[in-house]
Structure 1
C-alpha cells in the first residue's frame, strides 16, 4: 500500500491554489490531496487530488501526468460498486452545482465526518510491510499466521491489521486490534473490522472477475450522525496493492498496478539519504500507464 494520502507537505504537481471558484478556500494539503472549505457550506469539504507522487515519505519530482484525475475516477467508480455501504460523497446535484469546473475531473465533494484515527488495513496476501513483519514475528499486528509463507503468498483468509493515524508530521503506527479497542472503544473497533473485511471481500471478488488481484488496501471511516461511513479515497492504486492475476499465476509477483515502478527505481538509484533524485521521464510514463491500465481493466472504460 502507498504512503500517500494526508501526510505533511504540499509538494508540487498541479499546484495548490489558496482559493478556487465558488467560494472554496484552501484549508489543508497532504502529500497528494488538497482540501478546501467554504463558509457557505460548512458541512462540506472539497477534496482535490493532485498529480503529486510520493515514496518512502518523500515527495518526488516530476508529478505523474493526470494522476489526480485517474485516482478520483477510480475512487468514484468503487463507491458506485459498493452498494449498501454508506460513504461520504455529497449528492450528485450538489457536486454539479458547487464544484468549480477547473477541478471537476479530480475532485470529490464530500460530507464532513468525525473521522476515526484508525487506518483500517486489510491484507489478503503477504507483501510489503506485512512480509517484513511476518519474517520477524510470524504475525502481523498481533495476528498470528502459519509458518512457511513466502512473499506474495495468499493468506488463509484476509486479516485486519490496523494502524494508528499519527498527528501531522509523525509516522503512522501499526497496532494490534486490542490497541484499536483502547483508542476507539470495543463497539467501534468491532464495527471497523467487520466493515473493512466485508468491503474487502466484495472488492476482491469484483477485481478477480476482471483478472486483477486485490492484495491489500486501507480504508478510513468516520461517524455521520451515528452511522459508520466510508470516507477518504477508496480502493485506488495509491491506497491499495493490485496485481495482474494471469502474471501472478506464472509466479510473477511484481507486476503491480501502482507506483511500484517508482519505488523500484529509487531503491536502485538512491541511498535514501537527502533529497530524492528526479524521476526519469520513462519511469514517469510507465507509472502513468500502470495507473491507467488498472482503471481500464477494472471499469472497462
Structure 2
C-alpha cells in the first residue's frame, strides 16, 4: 500500500485513515488500514502511525472466522541498504467481533517522515506499507503478501515421469502447486487431449491452462487476467516454446483458460526439440500472468 501525499496525511487530525485496495485470502476480503493516532501516554499529542490488518467481511456473513498464524507488518525502505521497519504478530483470530489486529503506535510520524531514516520518499511524497500474512488451514500454511502493487507472477511446474504420463488415457492431468496473486489461488493445469475434431485417438496433445482454483461456492468472484504459456527449454541458450498472450475473465463458471492443443506429445518428447529432458524424464511448464482486476463478494 502506498500512502501518497504523505506530508498532507501527516498534517491531518488524529483518527484520519487510509486504506489499501481489497485483496482476498481464503475467500475473505482484507485491507491494510493506516490511521493517525496519538502516542500512548504522550503529554504533547505526538502523532503516531497505526497500522492494522483489517478483514472487511460483511456483518450478515456472521459465521466467518479466520486463523492467521502470523502477520508481519512492514514499512518499506526507500533507500538501498536501509532495512525495512518490521513488527510481527502471531496466532491471531479474526471474526465479526475482532475484525482488525495491528499496532496502534507503529512509528512516530516524526521518525517516519525523517528522510534520513529511509522510509519517506520526499521526492515522491509517499510511504509504502506491506503486510505478509500466513493463514492457517487444515492442510498447510498458505502465505500471502498484502501488497496492492503485486499483480503479476510466474507459475512453473515440472512434469516428472513424462514418458509414463504420455501413455495415460485421454483426460489424465497434472496440476502445479498454488501461487497466490491478488489473494487468489492460481495453478498450472496440464491435461492430455485429442486434436479438436480429430478421430485419431492415438495422436495425443498436451493441453495447458491457467487455473484459478477458488473453492468458496458461496462467493461470487471474477478476475481479469492476461497470460503467456511456455514450455521451458532444457538447453541453455535456446529459447522457450511460447504461445501468444491471451486475455480472459475468470469466474466460478470459467475458472480455467488456456490452449487445449498446445503441442503434440510426439513433438514434446522429440529430443531434437529440447523440451524434453530424457535423462531426468521431465518437462517444465511455465505461465507468466498479470491479474488486471480481481473482485469477490458474498452472494446474497
Task: Please give the TM-score of this superposition, normalised by the length of structure 1.
Answer: 0.26
Could you say which structure has the larger radius of gyration? 2
Which is bigger in relative contact order (C-alpha 8 A, separation at least 6)?
A: 1
Give the helix-richer structure, 1 or 2.
1
TM-score, scaled relative to structure 2: 0.27
